Amino acid sequence: MDTAKGRVWVLGDNVDTDVIYPGKYLPIIVPEEMALHALEGIDPQFPSRLKHGDIIVAGSNFGCGSSREQAATCLKAAGVAAVVAGSYSRIFFRNALNQGLALVESKECRTRVKEGDTITIDFGRGKILLSDGDISFESLAPFLMQILEAGGLIEHTKKKIAGGK
């Protein structure tokens, strides 16, 4: 993937998997249905307000809590183009990449944007383009980019198996 341009939602620190995707919805296994509950624990209106291409900008420890991958899948299925957070809980980090949901690590971004801003993430150059300047970020390791670019772990694994690795 090259770039993502989208409308920003700003969240705080320690956004946990219970507010991203409440436990009562865990029996759902279809991504399109999961999308109906994305971030519902923060605001019941969130799922209907999220639009394809939106970008979540958050503080530290995003996705902390449960290993439920629905927390990542629901955002991806709702059309979230990327999450930019100060840091990630490790299980969420892996789950997001495995679902093909792009993640950027940046402590600065949240301090420079507000809800409704439009930003562009240039993954190739490792830059977030804001209206008043750029923020640099460290790109993911190549093998993680491979998983993301394949569209997630399922596609990546199928390729590996087909390649005889």
* Positions in the binding site for other proteins (CB under 8 A): 14, 16-19, 22-24, 26-29, 41, 44, 60-61, 64-70, 72, 87, 89-91, 94-95, 98-99, 141, 143, 152-154, 157-158, 160-161
Q: Which of 6, 19, 161 is nearest to 92 (CA)?
A: 19
Is 49 or 90 the residue whose CB approaches other proteins more closely? 90
In angstroms, rounded to a whole number, what is the distance separating the alpha carbons of residues 101 and 94? 10
Maximum C-alpha span of the chain = 48
Least Cβ distance, residue 61 to other proteins (angstroms) = 4
Least Cβ distance, residue 97 to other proteins (angstroms) = 10
Is 15 or 113 the residue whose CB approaches other proteins more closely? 15
Instruction: Output b/e per residue, 32-42; b: 16+ Cβ within 10 A.
Output: eebbebbbbbe
Is 20 or 113 the residue whose CB approaches other proteins more closely? 20
Is 6 or 41 the residue whose CB approaches other proteins more closely? 41
37 contact partners, CB below 8 Å, separation of at least 6: 21, 22, 25, 28, 47, 74
Least Cβ distance, residue 130 to other proteins (angstroms) = 26
